[in-house]
Amino acid sequence: MTNAVQTALIAISSTHFVALTTLGYGKPSLLSFSEVHELLRNTGSILIHLLSSNEWADLCGKTGVEWDALDVAPNFMTHWLHTPGLVSALASHWSSNEELSPRVVEQLCTSRQHLAGYELCCELYKAAFDIAFYSEYGISLLLSYKSHFVLD
């Protein structure tokens, strides 16, 4: 056995990459804002997987990364999508090359604030679940929090 550093193996299976390379009828690939968001999120996940290395092959990739740090790169990549300068630089009409109006760019950039309070409640419930699961109080603490949150 050697102590060489192992790198992770990854297979990329994404419909976005097919859409980016397939040109239909001479038109460029037309992705919606949510599809570009998902593409950047997947790219961040791929970066975490590819840039990790470990002494043991079983711990390479996402399995060797702390769970708290798994979403750092995907969130960092998608954060740039909500910057007005980047949105206006990337988005334009495909045939006339007309730029988006500042009002539309502002609406796209503030779209992640929609239902932010609900998402915060979901995260607080998950945090309360973790505390209850790993504490000595157990499930009774979790059940007392459940009445405050409405989940899917």
Question: pLDDT, tens digit, for every residue of 99-151?
Answer: 888 898 898 888 888 888 998 998 898 888 787 777 766 666 666 666 555 55
Give this prediction's pTM. 0.63
**CA distance linking residue 128 with residue 147, whole number of Å:** 12
Closest CA to 92 of 36, 30, 40, 43: 30
